[in-house]
Amino acid sequence: MLVELNWIALTVFIVLFGFITWVGFAAARWRKGDLDQLHEWGLGGRRFGTIVTWFLIGGDLYTAYTFIALPALAYGAGAVAFFAVPYTILIYPLLFVAFPRLWQVCHRHGYITAGDFVRGRYGNRWLALAIALSGIVATMPYIALQLVGLEVVIGAMGVGGEGLVGELPLIVAFIILAAFTYTSGLRAPAAIAIVKDVLIYTTAFVAIIVIPIELGGFGKIFAAIPPAKLLLAAPAANSTGSYGAYATLALGSALALFLYPHSMTGILAASSGRAVRRNAALLPAYSLLLGLLTLLGFFVIASGVDKLPQFAAGFAQFKANFAAPAVMLWAFPSWFAGVAFAAIGIGALVPAAIMSIAAANLYTRNIHREFFNANVAPKDEAQIAKWVSLIVKFGALIFILFVPLQYAIQLQLLGGIWIIQTFPAVVFGLFTRKFNDWALLCGWLVGTVMGTWMAVAMNFNATYPLAFAGWTFPGYAAFYTVVLNFLVALVLTPVFNAMASQPGRDETAAGDYVV
């Protein structure tokens, strides 16, 4: 065990988890629909209004990444962790302008995934397959990040051990996720997201008030942080250094955020394009929460929690990812630590459920239906999606067990490298049909291969030092490769247009995009 079993925190955690388990199963009867239809199981019947959509998309995007990964990065690497604050602000103008159009055209044509939209827009099944594969592969490390978060908080309460016992948190997470997604579809995480957000906001505001008081105020906290972690390091000669890394991490993450299948699922489950647009104005409230929670990493340094012997085993096993749970155990009574850990656990469970549903939708619509059985019955289609949602979770476990990572946040950043390659086909496709579908496919392939190579070359670190003309530009591989992707598509479009007699058939019309 990492620490002595904390029965009070564990009891509170189990009670709250038991409650959301009941909510998850009961959600199957919420706004009741035929869950043997894929649009009902995988999109909640497209009936979620502005408020439920706000909780659902918030549950999508603010996850164990918020509670575990960002404080860990702030604790270990310092100020660069705050790239997450501007990127979650940068994205909302794009959400406001582009994604109501996506909702509108998908609603009119019955599209369930981004792959469906690309198939209809460009008439190219192989480009749609590329979009689906990107979504599925990018989702697995993101689910893995949620399971890491759940594993860390359960370990923080003293539950763990060697061998199979040590993997118990992952087994529990798999069983809970499997039950929710299989029986209730998207309704389960939508209902649970409301409980999750109440717990998260409560924990965040209590933490940001109580812990600084215990540490003597923010002045003493920041005075205790080494200067090297308070500010980005000044670039070396002929290099953009950490400045370039910070900027590209923010911009690349912003461009990728709403392309993730779980983000798309939250958007397409809304009842109208207007609900999507309203959420573009309301969701920045979560960005405030994100900044507050990132400060937990600095609280660890200022409090010296990482030097206390009772937390040594936790930091040894989970590295910097143990930062937020450790400071909560130090600062709060056991019962409130249990509430905080339940918030983190549920904050991992909700998005992981949505992610597995979204990946299942992609496989069912854009791989199975397109390449194996075009005439699959609606009931069978939904059943296939339910089974695939289970399989996706096994893929997520691979990332945890076999990919070497110092910070859990790298799981999310790796997914961003792959999902951002869908940006030209999806986002540009909402405004223009001038790009050739085969040119877009070539751009996707080049971007995906180069992004993967960069990540592997850096031992699965998402930041790559690009060298050019005697300068070094350290930056997020996702940003560099999507620019390359776009340039390839731009250059090859006139080439393929000259070779082909006519482009793929566009089954959408200009009026479909009017919100």
| Cα gap 47→30, rounded to integer Å | 11
1, part of any domain: no
C-alpha to C-alpha distances, 70 to 197, 294, 345, 408, nearest whole angstrom: 18, 5, 16, 9
**90 contact partners, CB below 8 Å, separation of at least 6:** 250, 251, 254
Q: Where are the alpha helices (DSSP H) in 216-240?
A: 218-224, 227-230
| Cα gap 330→304, rounded to integer Å | 10
Sequential DSSP letters for 388-437? HHHHHHHHHHHHHHHS--SSTHHHHHHHHHHHGGGHHHHTGGGT---S-H
Taking CB atoms within 8 Å and a gap of at least 24, the contacts of 428-432 are 429/117, 429/118, 429/121, 429/122, 430/98, 430/101, 430/102, 430/105, 430/513, 431/98, 431/101
Chain centroid offset of residue 469 CA = 35
Q: Where are the alpha helices (DSSP H) in 37-185?
A: 38-43, 50-61, 64, 70-77, 84-109, 114-122, 125-156, 163-166, 168-184
* Contact between residue 182 and residue 32 where contact means Cβ atoms under 8 Å apart: no
Helix (H, G, I), strand (E, B) or coil at 338: helix
| CATH number of the domain encompassing residue 65 | 1.20.1730.10
* Contact between residue 372 and residue 119 where contact means Cβ atoms under 8 Å apart: no
355, part of any domain: yes
* Structure confidence at residue 424 (pLDDT): 95
Q: What is the DSSP letter of 327?
A: H
Give residue 80's domain range.
7-505
Helix (H, G, I), strand (E, B) or coil at 471: strand
359, part of any domain: yes
* Structure confidence at residue 354 (pLDDT): 85
Q: What tokens were used for 248?
A: 């590209």
513, part of any domain: no
432, part of any domain: yes
402, part of any domain: yes
* Structure confidence at residue 173 (pLDDT): 65
512, part of any domain: no
Domain count, the chain: 1
Task: State the amino acid at position 332 in one-letter form.
Answer: F
| Cα gap 82→70, rounded to integer Å | 8
235, part of any domain: yes
* Contact between residue 244 and residue 238 where contact means Cβ atoms under 8 Å apart: no
Q: pLDDT truncated to tens, each residue of the chain (515 aa)?
A: 455 778 898 899 889 888 888 887 777 677 777 777 888 888 887 888 888 888 888 766 677 667 787 888 889 888 888 887 888 788 888 888 899 999 999 999 999 999 999 999 999 999 999 999 999 988 877 777 777 778 888 888 877 665 555 566 567 766 776 777 778 788 888 888 888 888 888 888 899 899 999 999 999 999 999 888 888 878 878 878 788 888 888 898 889 888 999 889 889 989 888 999 998 888 887 777 788 888 898 999 999 998 888 888 888 877 888 888 889 999 999 999 999 888 888 877 778 888 888 888 999 999 998 898 888 888 888 888 888 887 877 766 666 666 555 544 566 677 889 999 999 999 999 999 999 999 999 999 999 999 999 988 888 778 888 888 788 888 899 999 999 999 999 999 999 988 875 677 889 888 888 87
Give the H or E element holding residue 474: strand 471-476
* Structure confidence at residue 1 (pLDDT): 45
- Identify the sign of the CA torsion 456, 133, 437, 434: negative
Give the H or E element holding residue 446: helix 437-457
Rg (CA), the chain: 22
The pTM score is 0.87
